[in-house]
Amino acid sequence: MNNDFITEKNNSFFIEEVDIRILAEKYGTPLYIYSKQSIIHQISLLQEALSDINHLICFAVKSNSNLSILNLIKNAECGFDIVSGGELKRVIALGNYDGNVVFSGVGKSKDEIEYALEHNILAFNIESEPELMRLNSIAKKFAKKANISIRVNPNVDAKTHPYISTGLKDNKFGLDEKKAIELYSLAKTMDYINITGIDCHIGSQLTDLSPFQDTFIKLANMIDHLQTIGIELDHIDIGGGIGISYNDEKITPLNHYVSMIKKYLSKYNKKIILEPGRLIIGKAGILLTKVEYIKRSEHKNFIVVDAAMNDLMRPSLYGAHHNVINISNPKNGDEIFDIVGPICETGDFLAKDRQISASEDDLLAFMDAGAYGFSMSSNYNTRPKIAEILVDQTDFKLIRQRETFDDLIQHEIEFVNQKK
Ligand SMILES: *Cc1c(COP(=O)(O)O)cnc(C)c1O
Mutate to test the pocket of ligand 1, among 82, 87, 201 (most ligand atoms within 8 A of CB): 201
**For position 171, what pLDDT does the model report?**
81
* Dihedral angle over CA of 350, 351, 355, 360, nearest 10: 10
Q: Which residues pair with 326 in a beta bridge?
A: 364
Contacts of 146 (CB under 8 A, 6+ apart): 117, 124, 135, 136, 138, 139, 192, 193, 194
> Residue whose CA is closest, atom 10 of ligand 1?
240
Question: b/e string for 56-71 if b means 16 or more Cβ within 10 A?
Answer: bbbbbbbbbbbebbbe
CATH T-level fold of 6-34+282-409 = Lyase, Ornithine Decarboxylase; Chain A, domain 1 (2.40.37)
What are the pLDDT tens digits along the chain (420 aa)?
356 899 999 889 999 999 999 999 999 999 999 999 999 999 999 999 999 999 999 999 999 999 999 999 999 999 999 999 999 999 999 999 999 999 999 999 999 999 999 999 999 999 999 999 999 999 999 999 999 999 999 888 877 777 767 777 778 888 999 999 999 999 999 999 999 999 999 999 999 899 999 999 999 999 999 999 999 999 999 999 999 999 999 988 899 999 999 999 999 999 999 999 999 999 999 999 999 999 999 999 999 999 999 999 999 999 999 999 999 998 878 899 999 999 999 899 999 999 999 999 999 999 999 999 999 999 999 999 999 999 999 999 999 999 999 999 999 987 765 555
375 lines ligand 1 (CB under 6 A): no
Asked if 301 contacts 294 with a C-beta cutoff of 8 angstroms, the reply is yes
Give the chain's count of helices (H) and strands (E).
13, 20
| Ligand 1 atom closest to 205 (CA) | 7
What is the C-alpha to C-alpha distance for residues 265 and 169, in angstroms, rounded to an integer? 23
- Greatest extent of the chain over all pairs of C-alpha atoms, in Å: 71
How far does the centroid of ligand 1 lie from the alpha carbon of residue 60, in Å?
Answer: 6
Q: Which residues contact 10 (CB under 8 A, 6 or more apart)?
A: none
* pLDDT, position 419: 56
Neighbour tally for 77: CB within 10 Å: 12
Look up the pTM and report it.
0.96
Pocket probe mutation, ligand 1, options 204, 272, 317, max atoms within 8 Å of Cβ: 204
Between the CA of 207 and the centroid of ligand 1 the distance, in Å, is 14
Please identify, by atom number, the ligand 1 atom nearest to the C-alpha of residue 282: 8
Q: Where are the domains of the chain?
A: 6-34+282-409, 36-280
> At residue 178, what is the residue type?
K
Cβ distance 72 to 405 under 8 Å?
no
- Residue 339 Rama label (left phi>0; alpha psi -120 to 50; beta): beta
pLDDT at 89: 98
Residues tagged active-site: 344
Q: Which of 104, 126, 245, 272 to mutate to test the pocket of ligand 1 (most atoms within 8 A of CB)?
A: 104
Tell whether ligand 1 has an atom less than 6 A from the beta carbon of residue 276: yes
Q: What is the DSSP letter of 106?
A: T
Cα angle 237-239-242, degrees, rounded to a multiple of 5? 140
Cα–Cα distance for residue pair 407/79, rounded to 1 Å = 31
Q: How far apart are CA 154 and CA 393, in angstroms?
A: 43
Q: Please report the pLDDT score of residue 416 as a whole number.
A: 66
62 lines ligand 1 (CB under 6 A): yes
Ligand 1 centre from 17 Cα, in Å? 31
Q: Bridge partners of 363?
A: 290
* Number of the ligand 1 atom closest to the C-alpha atom of 243: 7
What number does the ligand 1 atom closest to the CA of 63 have? 8
Q: Can you give the pLDDT at residue 332?
A: 76
The best mutation among 58, 81, 283 to test binding of ligand 1, ranked by most ligand atoms within 8 Å of the C-beta, falls on 81
Ligand 1: atom nearest CA of 104 is 13
Residue 203 DSSP label: B
The CA 397 to ligand 1 mean position distance, Å, reads 28
Query: Residue 330, preceding bond cis, omega within 30 degrees?
Result: no
Question: What length is written for the chain?
Answer: 420
Distance from residue 239's CA to the centre of ligand 1 (Å): 6
CA distances 351 to 2, 74, 324, 375, Å, are: 20, 33, 8, 19
- At residue 1, the pLDDT reads 39
CATH class of the structural domain 36-280:
alpha beta
218 CB less than 6 Å from ligand 1? Answer: no
